[in-house]
Structure 1
Amino acid sequence: MNVVLNEALTRRELRVPDGKISYLEWGADEAGKAPLHFAHANGFNGQTYRRILEELSDRFHIRAWDARGHGATRLPADPATHRNWYVYRDDLIRMVEDFAEATGQKVILAGHSMGGAASVMAAAARPDLVRGLVLVDPVMTPWSFRYLLMAFRLLGMKGGPMSLADGAEKRRAVFPDGETIVNRYLGRGAFTTWPRGFLEDYVAGGTRLRDDGQVELSCAPAWEAANFRAHGHNISKAVRNLNVPLALLHAEHGSTCRGSFPQKLKRRDPGAHIMQVKGSTHFLPMEFPELVIQEVRDFAARLEAEGR
């Protein structure tokens, strides 16, 4: 099913064995543009980043998915059985296989937070499909955090590494309308530093109308919480196996790209631009959208200059 949202933007679906992945697409009818896929953070959706991606659509053929359990995508998402993010890696590989086939080119993968981690794992598994990576504060935590998280879960403990999951699980899911959500979230909690426009796009792409006329968050609070707890994947191994060019922007405050991971990424690509963005939080794309736009453009220029 294709839904034309405006003259430049279309929502499409990719059929996969267990359902359909919904994604936004810019520039599909314009030949010669470099393919770029953008993967969003936990609890968000592709439309959240519309203001960034539209600015890039003059140069790139863009797809931005709604990951499993998010937005308009309809794939099984059972919190009770969710243990790691390999499912996102595998879903993303299917997306990139289709994108590469459609364009006849390798794809640049960009991603924020969980989307950055999924992009790293997909690139490590299928470098034949991936031209390079642009990572915006990807979730990369050391093995000690993963084991601490597992210990808390096994013992049924709250707080500590479980705090984000505990908070997500309590999130209200049903509201009278989208405007109510925007007004409730604006300037509060995780959305403290978000401009209103980004929040409006997040709500527009991340809610669905119920039969009773109210709206509901498309990413169920239980699924968002399960993602915060599901760290059974090995991101360190994926980084060790990376063999593609990359760029990294990471936050100054509350970064999820922790410990030595920026240095590890630099070792995988000595030519990589690695930058900690002063004054930024984990929500760097919303706080410094122009910087993210320029980073993607500069990365593509580097690839071209190097003949990649």
Structure 2
Amino acid sequence: MSDGAVLSVRCCYAANRPRILIGHGNGFSVNAFAQLVDSVATWGSVLAIDLRNHGLSSRYKLEAHTQARLRLDMIEVIDHFDKVFGPAPTYGLFHSLSGLHALYAELNKPNRFRRLVLIEPPVSPPPTHNLHNRQIAAQISLVEATQRRRDRFSSIEEMVDRLRDRPRFQYLSLQALQNYCGGVLRKEGKNWILHCSKKVESAGYENNLDDGFFSLLPSIAIPVLLLSSDVDSLVQDLTNDLVQHAGFDSHQVSDSTHLMPMEIPETVSTISRDYFGKDVEFCSKAPRTDLYK
């Protein structure tokens, strides 16, 4: 990035397929979404991006982990892909926080994307909005939960064993949980620690405040699909409001939570392919090359 941070990108490249960018939410990683990435790579040319301070991306100074910098990262990454691979019709499948960055990139330069599928993007309404106080309360709750979280383990398996019976992870297969734990931990000496520190993850929630962004969303002209679960009333209210406010499409997925990229990767992949496929006929036979950039 222009400030010196290094982002990791998993590249499942296929020249004759549409370009699909995949991004994860705060505290997650590309490897945590391995099953989703692999599924989308059967029909698209995938570039899956780790946020700074997440996954295989480098750790960087906390003061640079701001809303403005994360938005700029998205713009610089897209521009970089166009330089390396050449310009191409681009679609986005983004989870949570990365969905906000994709919307900002589209506002910054219209038609960067053909279409977007966003999984529960935490759009923060302005202080005058009737959902503002509930959204802020939810973000404070997430910060408090993050600060309580254990961040050091003797092994990946220890983290898996600790989480497997918790209600939050009830819909995850054992493989998905193993991918998640392996994707968010890194080796440090004899221990495994969260690569995204508690301070960084907390900053991701605390910095998510409206700065005029909400009022600009109706100017986005490309089709945008909001995917949401049916377990969180605030998410549903925010989704319904965005449909009315910005004209976005929406689809509710039952038997899932905010973790749906890991819970139901094939379903998310199929919904995305169907939505993107309204613009282009997807090719599933082109050879692909997997690598990290």
Give yes or no for TM over 0.5: yes
Q: Deviations over 1:133-167 (max 9, x none)?
A: 111121124324656777xxxxxxxx765121011
Aligned to 2:230: 252
Q: Equivalents in 2 of 1:214, 1:241: separation in Å?
A: 48
- Summarize deviations over 1:71-94 as a string: whole Å, max 9, x none: 12125341x675x52322110111
Equivalent residues, number: 276
Match of 2:191 among 187, 206, 214: 214
Report the CA distance shift for 1:56/1:148 in structure 2 as closer, same or farther (over 3 A).
closer
Q: Which residue of 1 aligns with 2:289?
A: none
1:24–1:64 Cα contact (<8 Å) kept:
yes
Q: Percent identity?
A: 22
Q: 1:227 aligns with which of 204, 216, 238?
A: 204
Q: Which residue of 1 aligns with 2:100?
A: 117
Q: What's the counterpart of residue 283 of structure 1?
A: 259
Q: What is the DSSP-based 3-state SS (H/G/I as helix, E as strand, rest coil) of the residue aligned with 2:16? A: coil
After superposition, residues 70-149 of structure 1 pair within 5 angstroms as 70-74=54-58, 76-78=60-62, 85-101=67-83, 102-144=85-127
Are the aligned partners of 1:46 and 1:66 in contact in 2 as well (CA < 8 Å)?
yes
- Structure 1, residues 33-90: CA drift from partner, whole Å, max 9, x if none? 1111111011000111110111121221111111012112125341x675x5232211
Instruction: Name which structure has the greater RCO, CA cutoff 8 Å, separation 6+.
Output: 2
Match of 1:163 in 2: 141
* Normalised TM-score (structure 2): 0.84
SS at match of 2:228: strand
CA deviations on 1:229-268 (whole Å, 9 max, x unpaired) are 2222444134223121222211111266453544534675
C-alpha separation between the residues in 2 aligned to 1:96 and 1:243? 19
Contact 2:36/2:269 (<8 A) preserved = yes
CA contact (8 A) 1:40 1:67 kept: yes
Instruction: Write the distance in 2 (CA, Å) between the matches of 1:282 and 1:217.
Output: 20
Counterpart amino acid of 2:9? Answer: Y
Matched, 1:21 2:3: no
1:114 counterpart letter in structure 2: L
Tell me, yes or no, if the aligned pair for 1:114 and 1:138 is still in contact at 8 Å: yes
Assess if the C-alpha contact under 8 Å between 1:132 and 1:244 holds in 2.
Answer: yes
Q: Structure 1-normalised TM-score?
A: 0.80
Q: Which runs of 5+ in 2 are unaligned?
A: 282-293
Q: Determine if contact 1:45/1:70 at 8 Å carries over to the other structure.
A: yes
Alignment deviations for residues 9-38 of structure 1 (CA, whole Å, 9 cap, x no partner): xxxxxx543221111111x2x321111111
Structure 1 unmatched ranges of 5 or more: 1-14, 151-158
Indicate the SS of the match to 1:67: coil
Match of 2:23 among 28, 39, 44: 39
Report the equivalent of 1:298: 274
Between the aligned partners of 2:115 and 2:185, the Cα distance in structure 1 is 32
